[in-house]
């Protein structure tokens, strides 16, 4: 992680890393998502999805380019600085949203949430918990909608007052910004940041790809079906398989006492 990346991540609660995926890899990823995606009846907030939201789970089972992204050096150099030296990949999935879709309500925005939702700096070291890498498979301008956040809110020690929640956390409210990013980028953001997604306005649906990383000793969302299949695990390198180890830190078996090596 460079000094500039550290400055920007600390300031904003998110960071854009460009040129992670080539154009060809973005197109391949979209094709594989289209083959797997299923319509959602309701959005995660319980709104009628009206045919505008689809999801595809367990993307690493689809092979490249999703496999390479597990431990992409441009991402790991940041994630190991802000989460910890040993990481888990909790989830890897896509939401595909088409023009006029219901938005994704703002959530997060308070750093007092203990292990998964925390943010502080001690000395030169950032400490945060659950962190998302959101890959952009197309060029995204602010007016397209999509990922939205309140920059800097990951440092808030207070909850937004209940009486002002609706106004201040409105997706088109005074504090919220849509984040533009070029095709092939990764937006790395801490879940502690107040964030959500504005209704998508682009002609091509938004193919959002989300990899959720955590400290290897922590789990936020326990979803066994998000673990790659046995066949996929067998195809991964040992360095990639370790991202799917169980949630523990120490006193492991003699050959892996600190959860440093792949369990399978
Ligand atoms: O759709 C988006 O970009 C927001 C994703 C999100 O809110 C999350 O991953 O927690």
pLDDT band at 149, cuts 50/70/90? Answer: very high
Beta-sheet strand order (sheet of 125-128): 112-113, 117-122, 125-128
Beta strands 38-39 and 53-56: pairing type?
Answer: antiparallel
Whether residue 185 is predicted with pLDDT greater than 80 in this model: the reply is yes
Q: What is the pLDDT of residues 46-77, one digit of tens each?
A: 999 999 999 999 999 999 999 999 999 999 99
- For domain 3-244, give the CATH superfamily: q2cbj1_9rhob like domain (2.60.120.620)
Mutate to test the pocket of ligand 1, among 52, 197, 205, 211 (most ligand atoms within 8 A of CB): 197
pLDDT at 112: 86
- Rounded to the nearest whole angstrom, what is the distance from the C-alpha of residue 257 to the centroid of ligand 1? 35
User: Does ligand 1 come within 6 angstroms of the Cβ of 156?
Assistant: no
For residue 27, the tally of other CB atoms under 10 A from its CB is 15
pLDDT at 94: 97
Whether residue 107 is predicted with pLDDT greater than 90 in this model: the reply is yes
Q: Counting beta carbons within 10 angstroms of the beta carbon of residue 170, is it exposed (0 to 12), middle (13 to 18) or buried (19 or more)?
A: middle
- Tell me the average pLDDT across 110-136: 94
The runs of H, that is alpha helices, within 37-101 are 66-70, 73-82
Atom of ligand 1 at shortest distance to CA of 132?
Answer: 9
Rg (CA), the chain: 18
pLDDT band at 227, cuts 50/70/90? Answer: confident
Cα atoms in the Cβ-side hemisphere of radius 13 Å centred on 109:
18
Cα(31)–Cα(35) distance, integer angstroms? 6
Cα(39)–Cα(155) distance, integer angstroms? 36
Q: How far is CA 193 from CA 3, 95, 96, 167, 175, in A?
A: 21, 20, 22, 17, 12
Q: What is the pLDDT of residues 82-104, one digit of tens each?
A: 999 999 999 999 999 999 999 99
Query: Domain locations in the chain?
Result: 3-244
pLDDT at 262: 95
Q: What is the pLDDT of residues 197-221, one digit of tens each?
A: 999 999 999 999 999 999 999 999 8
**Residues of the chain above pLDDT 90, percent:** 95
pLDDT band at 246, cuts 50/70/90? Answer: very high
- Rounded to the nearest whole angstrom, what is the distance from the C-alpha of residue 166 to the centroid of ligand 1? 19
pLDDT at 114: 86
Mean pLDDT of the chain: 96
Atom of ligand 1 at shortest distance to CA of 195?
Answer: 7
Nearest CA to ligand 1 atom 3: 147
Whether residue 225 is predicted with pLDDT greater than 80 in this model: the reply is no
Q: What is the pTM of this model?
A: 0.96
Q: Which residues of 120-138 are buried (b: 16+ CB within 10 A; e: fewer)?
A: eeeeeebebbbbbbbbbbb
Atom of ligand 1 at shortest distance to CA of 134?
Answer: 3
């Amino acid at each position: 992680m460079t000094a500039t990346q550290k400055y920007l991540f600390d300031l904003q609660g998110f960071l854009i890393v460009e040129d992670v995926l080539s154009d060809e890899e973005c197109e391949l990823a979209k094709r594989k998502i289209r083959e797997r995606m299923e319509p959602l009846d309701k959005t995660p907030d319980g709104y009628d999805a009206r045919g505008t939201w689809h999801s595809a789970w367990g993307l690493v089972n689809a092979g490249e380019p999703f496999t390479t992204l597990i431990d992409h050096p441009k991402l790991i150099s940041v994630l190991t600085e802000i989460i910890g030296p040993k990481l888990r990949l909790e989830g890897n999935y896509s939401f595909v949203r088409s023009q006029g879709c219901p938005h994704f309500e703002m959530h997060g925005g308070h750093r007092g949430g203990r292990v998964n939702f925390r943010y502080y700096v001690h000395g030169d070291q950032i400490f945060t918990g659950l962190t998302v890498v959101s890959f952009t498979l197309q060029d995204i301008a602010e007016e397209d909608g999509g990922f939205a956040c309140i920059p800097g809110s990951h440092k808030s020690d207070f909850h937004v007052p209940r009486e002002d929640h609706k106004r201040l956390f409105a997706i088109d409210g005074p504090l919220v910004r849509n984040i533009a990013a070029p095709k092939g980028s990764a937006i790395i953001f801490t879940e502690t940041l107040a964030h959500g997604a504005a209704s998508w306005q682009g002609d091509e649906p938004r193919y959002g790809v989300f990899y959720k990383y955590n400290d290897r000793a922590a789990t936020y969302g326990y979803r066994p079906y998000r673990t790659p299949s046995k066949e996929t695990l067998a195809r991964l390198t040992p360095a990639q398989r370790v991202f799917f180890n169980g949630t523990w830190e120490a006193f492991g078996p003699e050959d892996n006492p600190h959860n440093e090596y792949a369990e399978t």
